[in-house]
Chain A
Amino acid sequence: MDAKKGDWVRIHNIVLNPEDRSPNLPEDTKKVPLEMWDKGFLLNENANIGDIVEVESYIGRKVEGKLVEVNPFYDHDFGKCVPELLYIGRQLRGYLEGSEQGE
């Protein structure tokens, strides 16, 4: 079993299938469903990834969906080194060197 009752999990749902979507969409968006993710405490006794489950969201709302992650976490960061940016600070300080405000 991947998760038990009370575990903090992430769920996924298809909100609208492509054929049920708004008529005014760009061609690429028309081809794909509208999808949704939410998080909550698992209400089922046990569940595996991929099962349809019910959760209680952090504010207490009950939501159903497919279990996709247990103990979900964020991994966004400060990115990689972007060498293209490195000239900016030195260039700017170079312009101000010797001027009144730059001393």
Chain B
Amino acid sequence: MSKDMSFEAVMARRPETMKKAIGIDYDVFESGSIAFDYERMMRETGYSLQQMQKIQSETGVGNTPVYELRNLTALARKFAPKGKGARIFVKDEAANPSGSFKARRAATACYHAKKLGYKGVIAATSGNYGAAVASQAAMRGLKCIIVQECYDSREVGQPEIVEKARKCEAYGAEVVQLTVGPELFYSFLRLLEETGYFNASLYTPFGIAGVETLGYELSMEFREREGKDPDVVVVTNAGGGNLTGTARGLIKADADTQIVGASVDLSGLHMASDTQFNRKSFTTGHTGFGIPFATWPDRSDVPRSAARPLRYMDRYVTVNQGSVFYMTEALAQLEGLERGPAGNTSLAATFALAQELDEDKIIVAQETEYTGAGKHIQPQLTFAKENGIEIVIDDPKDEVPGENIILPKDPSYIKTKDIDLNKIKRSYIRNCIKNTKVDSVTSEDIEFLVKDTKSSEEFVKKVLDELKVEY
């Protein structure tokens, strides 16, 4: 008898499919209410930092170079108040196999899949993670399927995503390409059922722990060369895993570093809209992922996401698309590094934030990513024009995502905009109440919410009062 493959039936089988495909019983960490034991989950199902370093070194991942961007620092100081303009550094994560920090996440996912005896791995991703999984799977002798959201209903694909499909195929993976829509998850579940492969989710404890090495390396590297930890680390934020892992690694090194999340502002564009899909020029690192995943991390493809950015974020800023493109040019033209563009989101923010800090401070943009055909400032802006987006040189504050891209008139126009973190934290708490369907919260829940929002008992109770929830 064949299985019911309708949308509803496949989605209803989600819990058992997932359990088989990840090998983690998430139930044991649950409290039955809002709270779950995050640290126990990370400890018991993840890997220690030392294990992680060993696993990653086996496949050439990590220990990427750190460059001081002296010309960009000098430029920032031209626009900063006297005495301001921190030293700007970048961690060249593009030096990883497959060309991005995502190799760190994929390394542990593939190692784990191999160890548990899976024949192959599947990942649902249109981004660098696909190439990372395909590359690591090749090294570990695993089969690999990447499921991509790639086209609109005209079969027009974002050049950046098409390039990533090519790269996955280059590593011997099968790439399943889909049109826009959240039912990508349905196709993904069907493939997991059919193949019995491992779900190389971005959001498992081992995936996130894989990024901890990045934060740890930053601390060690700066202690060695500068005798101190970086003062500020800026992380491009989408699903929250990069920020979570990096922050955890810094904490494991006992570093006293401020963690800033940065996303490209795509407000107003609906991520599941067929007609808006190709009106954006960034397919990751943007607010369309950053905000929903911060306010409800457990929307991911695992029951409990190990990526919980609000736990670690000290500040969250946005930059516009045009500023990231400008900074991508700046990195190439002043520093001789052709990278990005999406990975340069944190660099654009870093350039603006450096101007707020004293000259002796150290600020780090913690990643770069590879560039190439399709995934490059020129094809992406060519594509934007073909889709009716106007390219303007003016003040980026007037950029309207989906209508125009405003390149800054000069570097003084590159600014960050602060997102009100308390507002985001309130939304997260509201979503916890709504999605867990509880009428009252326990003291364990409050303790969990304080940690999960890096706030205080007073703050959490105030929000609960506003929401009229008993505790």
B270 within 8 A of A: yes
Q: Given A32-B153, A59-B144, A96-B74, is A89 in contact with B329 using a C-beta cutoff of 8 Å? A: yes
With a cutoff of 8 Å between Cβ atoms, the chain B residues found around residue A24 in the complex are 182
Q: Nearest Cβ distance between residue A91 and chain B, in whole angstroms?
A: 6
* A88 and B407 contact, CB distance less than 8 A: yes
Residue of B74, B155, B162, B183 touching A102 (CB-CB under 8 A): B74
Q: Give residues of chain A (18-41) contacting chain B, Cβ–Cβ below 8 Å.
A: 20-22, 24-26, 28-29, 31-40
- Give per-residue flags for B346-386: 1 if the beta carbon is below 8 A from chain A beta carbons, else 0: 00000000000000000000000000011011111111010
With a cutoff of 8 Å between Cβ atoms, the chain B residues found around residue A15 in the complex are 178, 183, 186-187
Considering the complex, give the chain B residue whose CB is closest to the CB of A58.
Answer: B174
CA distance A76 to B143 in the complex (A): 26
* A36 and B177 contact, CB distance less than 8 A: yes
* B120 and A92 contact, CB distance less than 8 A: no
Q: Given A29-B180, A59-B144, A74-B166, is A92 in contact with B330 using a C-beta cutoff of 8 Å? A: yes
With a cutoff of 8 Å between Cβ atoms, the chain A residues found around residue B163 in the complex are 74, 76
CA distance A79 to B151 in the complex (A): 18
Residue of A29, A88, A89, A101 touching B272 (CB-CB under 8 A): A29
With a cutoff of 8 Å between Cβ atoms, the chain B residues found around residue A80 in the complex are 378, 382
* A22 and B376 contact, CB distance less than 8 A: no
CA distance A40 to B176 in the complex (A): 11
Q: Nearest Cβ distance between residue B291 and chain A, in whole angstroms?
A: 17
* A74 and B162 contact, CB distance less than 8 A: yes
Q: Give residues of chain B (135-185) contacting chain A, Cβ–Cβ below 8 Å.
A: 143-145, 150-151, 153, 155, 159, 162-163, 165-166, 169, 172-183
* A85 and B381 contact, CB distance less than 8 A: yes
* B177 and A37 contact, CB distance less than 8 A: yes
- Give per-residue flags for A34-50: 1 if the beta carbon is below 8 A from chain B beta carbons, else 0: 11111110000000000
* B377 and A29 contact, CB distance less than 8 A: no
With a cutoff of 8 Å between Cβ atoms, the chain A residues found around residue B274 in the complex are 26, 28-29, 31-32
Interface size class of B (residues with CB under 8 A): 35 or more
CA distance A89 to B75 in the complex (A): 13
* A59 and B173 contact, CB distance less than 8 A: yes
Q: Given A22-B7, A28-B274, is A77 in contact with B379 using a C-beta cutoff of 8 Å? A: yes
Best-surrounded residue of A24, A57, A78 (most CB of chain B within 10 A): A78
* B180 and A82 contact, CB distance less than 8 A: no
Considering the complex, give the chain B residue whose CB is closest to the CB of A36.
Answer: B178
Q: Given A22-B183, A29-B274, A32-B179, is A79 in contact with B71 using a C-beta cutoff of 8 Å? A: no
B73 within 8 A of A: yes
B28 within 8 A of A: no
CA distance A44 to B108 in the complex (A): 39
* B75 and A95 contact, CB distance less than 8 A: yes
Q: Given A15-B183, A28-B274, A89-B333, is A79 in contact with B382 using a C-beta cutoff of 8 Å? A: yes
* B162 and A79 contact, CB distance less than 8 A: no
* B391 and A84 contact, CB distance less than 8 A: yes
Residue of A16, A38, A91, A93 touching B186 (CB-CB under 8 A): A16
Considering the complex, give the chain A residue whose CB is closest to the CB of B185.
Answer: A22
B435 within 8 A of A: no
- Give per-residue flags for B38-75: 1 if the beta carbon is below 8 A from chain A beta carbons, else 0: 00000000000000000000000000000000110111
Q: Give residues of chain B (381-401) contacting chain A, Cβ–Cβ below 8 Å.
A: 381-383, 385, 391-393
> Which 10 residue pairs spanning A and B have beta carbons closest together?
A79-B382, A79-B379, A76-B374, A89-B333, A79-B378, A32-B153, A101-B74, A88-B329, A59-B143, A57-B174
With A20-B7, A38-B175, A96-B334 given, can you name 10 additional A-B contacts, CB distance below 8 Å? A15-B183, A29-B180, A33-B153, A34-B183, A40-B174, A88-B329, A92-B329, A93-B333, A96-B74, A102-B74
